[in-house]
Structure 1
Amino acid sequence: MESISLSTKDSAAAARHARFGSLPERIRFEDMVQEQRAASVTGDEYNPERSFISYSCLALDLGL
């Protein structure tokens, strides 16, 4: 095995500490939340032509 000099270890440890030695700054909750108004949807009533999308029947799935 190769022996690593003490100065190489110290410089590598210093580089790791510089990069990972402290936690990132806290992010406030207000900065993480974005509020938007809900879009008003018209035509939210029953539509028989689109009702098959949520309809599930085993007999129909099997082609009976």
Structure 2
Amino acid sequence: MTPPPEAARRDRFTRLPDRVRLQDTVEERPATVPDPARDVYDADRWLVPYCL
């Protein structure tokens, strides 16, 4: 037997839901896979197209 709609609504809305901890709402992960060739800097690279 199902409870009347008023009782079901009262049971559902008479108390607040359980609190969610902030630690449970945040997920940290890298946005992309780091590319080791991206951060390689050659200080003399600009010499090739402009000085030769």
**TM class by smaller structure:** 0.3 to 0.5
TM-score by length of 2: 0.45
TM-score by length of 1: 0.38
